[in-house]
Structure 1
Amino acid sequence: MGRHLDMGERVVKTEALHGGITAEMRRLTVGGRDGGTRDLVLRTFVDVEYADDWLNRERCAVALLAGAGVPAPGLVAVDRKAVHCEYPSLLMTHLAGRTVLEDEGVEARVPLLARELVAIHAVRPAPAERPPGFVTLTTADTVVTPKGADAAAWAAAVDVIREPAPAYEGRFLHRDFHPGNVLLDVPSPSPTALQITGVVDWAGASWGPADLDVARCCTNLALLHGPAWGVRFAGAYEKAGGVLAAAASDRLYWQVRDALAVSEEVQQVSLPWRGAGRTELTARIVEERLDAYVATLMDASG
């Protein structure tokens, strides 16, 4: 890594960063000859099956976003084949701010999240620079229905994703946009004067329907703060100028597909939230909220 630092610089401190699921994160404090320091972030994919694909998606995404008005990290170096690092890794600039996951203040944060996602979807890469198409691994046969769930609602939801995916107009997607991947400046003593300082984790960057990104944030908000917030985010996105599928059935398809995808990874999703202080969000509580959210979606569909 030293060859990617300025002359006379060296790493003087490392600190593990918490909250990631797919990769290990470390903040590296780099000291210079003049006594000053700067921070970088090393993102390492340890024993991850699709590390090469994810690193390539992230590398291309952050390069594309440079100067695009989206506060993404800057690329410093990438080691896709673990030639210089023990595992495939990405070295990026460090962004100020922190994730905010608590219930207090969510009403003020949702419009900010919506406006930022609209800005991401407004990025228009040339065809040759577009990221690969989106991937959805969940099928009707892999959905994990929570214990005690509303069986009728879940059966109806599974039937929704048995249908072919709706037609869509392609957009540049983050693909994992949610509060855990958004950094905020929370000024004191006025915590309501929020500002987004960064959007991180671009390993899933894809080309696909805006509805899919919106659905991912809806699901996460529903699990973090209750089903009503999942429903409200889609409205906030449209109010911020975003465009979703015209047909209600098409919107439902993407919303349900993302919600059912989470059914397979409840433990992985809830663990970093508890590590960030939301200790009440046990896997069981998250399952119950997911069940309530799926039931809400299906009730609204008639």
Structure 2
Amino acid sequence: MTQTESGTPKSRAALVELAGVSKNYGNVRALEGVTLQVHAGEITCVLGDNGAGKSTLIKIIAGLHQHDGGTLSLDGEETRLSSPREALDRGIATVYQDLAVVPLMPVWRNFFLGSEPRKGVAPFKRMDVDHMRRTTHAELLRMGIDLRDVDQPIGTLSGGERQCVAIARAVYFGAKVLVLDEPTAALGVKQSGVVLKYVAAARDQGLGVVLITHNPHHAYLVGDRFVLLKRGTMVGNHERDDITLDELTRQMAGGNELDDLRHELRRR
């Protein structure tokens, strides 16, 4: 909180704020009237089944697509992101479900992929491999990830470990907002727990996190805010203190529609 001139508290501007955002693809309305806020040191969870509009929402925040209606603001300033590069330059890092890694390359190479530091004088500059190895190990360790060998191919790591490397990479390169696309979707219970631990670690380092998921149990373990999408529209927007896990699960499962289906099946 900051103070106004009169001494009354004033809320900090959200790192990312969407207000009534809509997106059309031709005649298809992918998003309509979606509102959410992402604050530093908090996790905003976006929940919905397939086709709910989660992917479109990610693309707007990541700069892949521009919204057609409503407003997108960064640090309180209304803006339109023209590209993923601009989003990254503004501190928004997106980690997609399929992860942009090269399986046969070592962990350190993937950690710096596309941003390799170099040493020497042109035209004899070369990659600073020792620096990349040391930095990768140190940054992973700072996030609580203790890899014995950063020279091992990243493809030999578990799905959860690869997600954690991607999170640590985003933190190292100065992200203020971390968008995670279904990071636990293809993982078992133990690996999902490991990933959620590092999601919480990113939050504790002051990042604003957007966690996209269809799993209300995972969301409730770490979430501070919950936005529920259904067929492109927002059907719920709650803070953690205002909703229980049971009610979040009920809304995610369809709420009244599920009750109607239950009664219909019983009659049959």
Looking at both structures, which has the greater relative contact order when contacts are Cα pairs under 8 Å and sequence separation is at least 6? 2
TM range (shorter): under 0.3
Normalised TM-score (structure 2) = 0.26
Structure with the higher strand share, 1 or 2: 2
Normalised TM-score (structure 1) = 0.24
